[in-house]
Structures are given as C-alpha cells and as structure tokens.
Amino acid sequence: MPGQAAELVFDEATKVYPGREGAAVHELSLTVPAGEICVLVGPSGGGKTTALKLVNRLIPLTSGDIRIDGRSIRDHDVVELRRSIGYVIQQVGLFPHYTVEGNIGVVPRLYGESKAWTKTRSGELLELVGLDQSYAKRYPAQLSGGERQRVGLARALAANPPLMLMDEPFGAIDPIVRTRLQDEFLRLQGELRKTVVFVTHDVDEAIKLGDRIAILREGGVLAQYDTPAAILAKPVDKFVADFVGLDAGAVARLRARADVPR
C-alpha cells in the first residue's frame, strides 16, 4: 500500500465538454509540493471540482497532463490510481449497508489486507479523527453529519495514500461543527503531512486551510496561485481582490490563521 506524500503537477490540463462553449478547465498549470494543502477556490462554474476530478480520472482530460511524483496519471491503471488516492466528497457517500468499520476498510480490503488488520487500522483511524471506538460497529444512518464526514475522512486515509482529493468536504456541515472539523483537519495534517487538493467556494476556509490557494475564474482559468498571505498582499487583479473580499476582516483572518498549530 502507498505511503510517502507525493508531488502533484498540473501541466496545461484542459477539459472541454463537446458541444459546450468554452473550456471547463483551461490550461491549468500549477505544482503542489509534497505535503502541502492546495485549495482550489472560485465562483460556481469556475471548474474547481472538474479540475479535482481530472486528477483521479473521474473526468477524462481533453489535453495536457497531470503528474503524480513525475508519473503521468495516464500511465496508471485507472483503478490502481484511484485506490492510491484518498477521495472525500461533500455528501460523503458512505456505504449505507456497511458498518463504519466496514466502510473504513473498503480500500485496504481491495488491497488484500485481512479483516483483522482492517479492524485494527479502523480503530487507529477512528481515534485519529476523534471518534470513540464504539462507532466501529455503527451504521451510517445512525451518525450525524459531522460524524459521517469524520468517517469519510478516516476512510480516505485508510490505505495511507500519498495524495488526498477533497471536494467541499465540510460544505454540508453546520458552521460550528465545520470550524471544529477544520481545526482538527489541520491538526491531522500536521501529523500526517499528506499532499492535499481541497476544493471549496468559501474564501475564509481557503485562507484558513491552504498552504497555497489557486483561484479559478469562470471558464476554469487560473487567476492566481500563491500563498494566502501573498494573495492578500498583492492580488493580481480586481477579480481576485473582490473575490478574496479584501478588507480588514480578511487581514484579521490571516492573523488568526497564524495562531492555529500546524
């Protein structure tokens, strides 16, 4: 099973849907250094979810390339590729007919790990995401939204993937729980140091979580890709400045971010 965090490179990645005007993602080029969180933000229709799904080939590339640790995603067998990437979506998509433990164990079992191993691993991960061991035998229908998302996270981490793709994972959670989950996620990242691509439409969340932020404007065009501080200090154009909501509030958020242990 995979391990070390990987470097992710978008190389003029483009996605055009036939019959639709303009690209969904237009020649996206950026590098996510190993162990960093890159947040994709932008207005709806900005192509951020599309860009994310290009990486695990849920959406096929029209042109350009995406490389993980130097190796093109096209070179991988698609199923192998996906098993080595942790994928978390907003609705979580837990299997309703599996227990929490069963859900967490899906990918390791695909790799051939024994039930006993999976049980232990599941226990570790529950602890990691802050859930009590008693959750192991419960079913998704018995969990709250926040609990489900934690299980979703644990499930994505189960096979120790070098890369994580997260599509608005906290979007469906209420604000109080969301803040808590964000903080815990940062703490987790501090321990695990995974390479993460994180999609959100919430600028505050982007600033809080991202080591680097990629702002995509409509048509999937990269407006600016830099650290939060740099973007706030030197927005490249009016669109970025407006989008980031440059005002005293933003600067305060940036300062607050510095206080969260990383």
Find all residues with CB under 8 Å of 247, minimum gap 6, and list them: none
With contacts defined by CB under 8 A, name the span among 33-41, 62-70, 76-84, 222-230 that binds other proteins: 76-84
Interface with other proteins (CB under 8 A), residue from 32, 68, 73, 87 = 87
Specify which residues 10 forms β-bridges with. Answer: 30, 66
Quote the CA–CA distance of 117 and 140 in Å, as a whole number. 22
Task: Give the angle 44-78-96 at the CA atoms, nearest 5°.
Answer: 70
With contacts defined by CB under 8 A, name the span among 67-75, 82-90, 227-235, 242-250 that binds other proteins: 82-90
Task: Pull the structure tokens for residue 257.
Answer: 């971010």
With contacts defined by CB under 8 A, name the span among 13-21, 102-110, 182-190, 239-247 that binds other proteins: 102-110
Task: Pull the structure tokens for residue 124.
Answer: 């570790």
Quote the CA–CA distance of 260 and 255 in Å, as a whole number. 10
Using only C-alpha atoms, the chain has a radius of gyration, in whole angstroms, of 18
Q: Per rule CB under 8 A, is residue 170 in the interface with other proteins?
A: no
Q: Could you give the string, one character per residue 116-145, with x where binding to other proteins holds by CB under 8 A and - elsewhere?
A: -----------------------x-xx---
* Chain residues 31-70 in contact with other proteins, contact rule CB under 8 A: 56, 58
Quote the CA–CA distance of 108 and 125 in Å, as a whole number. 13
With contacts defined by CB under 8 A, name the span among 66-74, 90-98, 217-225, 232-240 that binds other proteins: 90-98
User: How many alpha carbons lie under 13 Å from residue 113 in its C-beta half-sphere?
Assistant: 20
Interface with other proteins (CB under 8 A), residue from 21, 44, 70, 80 = 80
Q: Per rule CB under 8 A, is residue 17 in the interface with other proteins?
A: no
Q: Per rule CB under 8 A, is residue 97 in the interface with other proteins?
A: yes
Residues that bind other proteins (CB under 8 A): 56, 58, 79-85, 87, 89, 91-97, 106-107, 110, 139, 141-142, 152, 155-156, 165
